[in-house]
Chains A and B, each alone.
Chain A
Amino acid sequence: MRTNLMLSAVGAFVLLAAGAVLLPDWAMFLCAMALAKGLVSLGIVGMMRGGLVSFGQGLYYCLGAYTATLVAGQLGVSDIFLLTLLSAGVCLVVGALFGPLLAGYRGIFFAMLSLALSMVLYGTLAKLTVLGGTDGLNIGAPTFFGWDPEGRALQTALYLYVAVLVVVAGTLMRIYFDSEQGLITLATRDNELRVEYLGASVRTVMSYNYVFGAVLGGIGGTIAALALGHVDPEFAFWTTSGEFVFVAILAGYLSVPAVFVAAIILEMVRSFSNLYFPNTWQLALGIFLLIVIVVLPNGLGSLVRRRKGDAT
């Protein structure tokens, strides 16, 4: 079973890596951003499997981006691996602080509290002139173990780095979803009372999912900041968090690759809608989501991965 997973991971990387050769610059940038946002949405999918949806993943997306920017700007660190590790570490700590607190809430209360936390960060950053206020901060191009590429080479290296992160994170999350803890998360989504009366802590299960989501959010934010070369408080704004939820709903909770496919579809639909209907592109996006919800209530993932019994 794990052999199949590893082969799929290799296949996914080869497919993504082909993009580095075949895609034009604009498309490669678009895909890199979509994959980075897909990482954030993957964290939401982890929570969705337990029956919760966070409307505040912008908190970790923004926190990761600002951590990378500040470390790069203040400490002079430009290595992309180190920046990613530091951002993920900060988000891990913050997630571990808030996770157990939020895991005691359900449904709309969890969603609203997570949103409130991200909006607190947004408000704070917007007012802090030392961090650039609403204008944000710039971050220089990253280096790769001392290699300092420029132009197309930089974009390709960044894209390939995101592809590696996506494949590694996706594989680890698939292993987690299929693990004992992952199955208990699914059971929790279905029947918390049963899970508690079997002797497992629903709160602990949800805390783990929240922390994983925080780390993935931080990594996604770091990549986005490096790809854009800029970070601002909008990273924590509710509309940004809404985009991540949008992708998670579009993908559903059954399949990991579906999350990244959904993220790329969203970026494509948004870019082209913006190009052809600049004033009504949100409408086009809304109609698209509506169609997916009606036709595929379990998301794009249900096209390739169905729960047992569904096929009968």
Chain B
Amino acid sequence: MTQAVLDVRDVQKSFGAVTAAKDINVSVPEGAVYSLIGTNGAGKTTFVNMVTGYIKPDSGVINFAGRNITGMGPRQITRLGIHRSFQIAQLCNELTVEENMVVAATIHKSARPSFWRNAHGAEARERALATLERFRIAEHRNRLIPELSGGVKKLLDIAMAIAGQTKVMLLDEPTSGVAADEKFPIMDLVIEALRAEGVTVIFVEHDMDIVTRYSDRVLAFYDGRIIADDAPEEVLSDPDVQRYVTGGAA
């Protein structure tokens, strides 16, 4: 049996009177692709935020590769190999695509970036270009972020996140804000790249076609709880999931 790379035990989180996560128990094996589904406010992003250190759980334990990471900050967690992309792509708008990638590659490469080495040197640019080519966005390298389409922004956001030694990648709605005809090509590219490197993937998604096509397993959230945790076909045919999550759209 494959060892769990991410193990979440009895995690709870409340914001005042609102319970955003209740008795969350998840065990994600290495190399698997998990998707998180649920209506808005169901607790999916809270789960992603707790795993990546953006918010601390009120109780419970989060283990990554056997190490307790509960309460660690985003920076420490990222350094361990858990990376994330965002629902709204988080990019540096005043920098070009290539410069964004150089920033990511530089930070991932070293905990202490140089005060002397030129960031625009040939080595840094080659490294950035290689990743951009892998995600087929190299042609945009000299453009500023506001000039890019939603799909290219998403790809760059993900490319920046995995520029380092990624072990677990959390994608928060990777196809939101992306044109319908770009969704599958983008997911093909991303999942292929992540699988090739043996990265464990957890993605939040509302499009059930994408969930079915790319997930090994699905976690359905409702009211801060996980109401189903199984293979995509099983989860999407679950009466509770159809009632509370998909509205019978499976």
Contacts and interface: CB of A to CB of B under 8 A. Distances in A.
Interface in A168-183: 175-176, 178-183
Contacts, number: 112
Interface string B102-133: 11101110110111111110001000000000
B233 interface: no
Q: Is the interface of A mostly helix, strand, loop or mixed?
A: helix
B77 to A, nearest CB: 9
Given A197-B74, A307-B94, A181 B103 contact: no
A296 interface: no
Contacts of B164: 198-199
A302 B110 CA distance: 32
B201 to A, nearest CB: 17
B99 interface: yes
A183 B106 contact: yes
B91 interface: yes
Given A179-B115, A187-B92, A190-B92, A198 B144 contact: no
A154 B235 CA distance: 85
A18 interface: no
Interface string A191-202: 101111111110
Nearest to A188: B92
Nearest to A198: B107
Given A183-B119, A308-B142, A191 B90 contact: yes
A182 B99 CA distance: 12
Contacts of B75: 196-197, 199-201
Contact of A197 (B52, B119, B147): B52
Contact of B108 (A178, A182, A199, A307): A199
Given A1-B118, A178-B118, A193 B107 contact: no
A200 B111 CA distance: 7
Interface string A59-78: 00000000000000000000
A interface bracket (residues with beta carbon within 8 Å of B): 20 to 34
B196 to A, nearest CB: 21
B217 interface: no
B122 to A, nearest CB: 10
A183 B160 contact: no
A200 B113 contact: yes
Contacts of A270: none
B84 A197 contact: yes
Q: Which of A2, A180, A182, A191 has the most CB of B within 10 A?
A: A180
B45 interface: no
B96 interface: yes
A191 B92 contact: yes
Nearest to A191: B92
Contacts of B83: 197
A295 to B, nearest CB: 20
A180 B144 contact: no
A190 B107 contact: no
A184 interface: yes
Q: Which of B95, B107, B110 has the most CB of A within 10 A?
A: B107
A178 B119 contact: yes
Contacts of B111: 199
Contact of B91 (A182, A184, A194): A194
Contacts of A230: none
A180 B92 contact: no
A186 interface: yes
A307 B73 CA distance: 33
B96 A308 contact: yes
Contacts of A151: none
B183 interface: no
A187 B106 CA distance: 12
Interface string B134-178: 000000001110010000000000001101100000000000000
8 A-B pairs with the lowest CB-CB distances in the bound complex, closest first: A190-B92, A180-B113, A183-B119, A309-B144, A199-B78, A194-B90, A198-B107, A187-B103
11 contacts: A175-B116, A175-B118, A178-B119, A179-B119, A181-B115, A182-B115, A184-B107, A194-B91, A197-B74, A307-B144, A308-B142
Interface of B: 52, 73-75, 78-79, 83-84, 86, 90-96, 99-100, 102-104, 106-108, 110-111, 113-120, 124, 142-144, 147, 160-161, 163-164
Given A193-B90, A200-B107, 16 more contacts: A1-B120, A179-B117, A182-B119, A183-B95, A186-B94, A191-B91, A193-B86, A194-B160, A196-B75, A197-B90, A198-B103, A198-B107, A199-B108, A199-B111, A308-B144, A309-B96
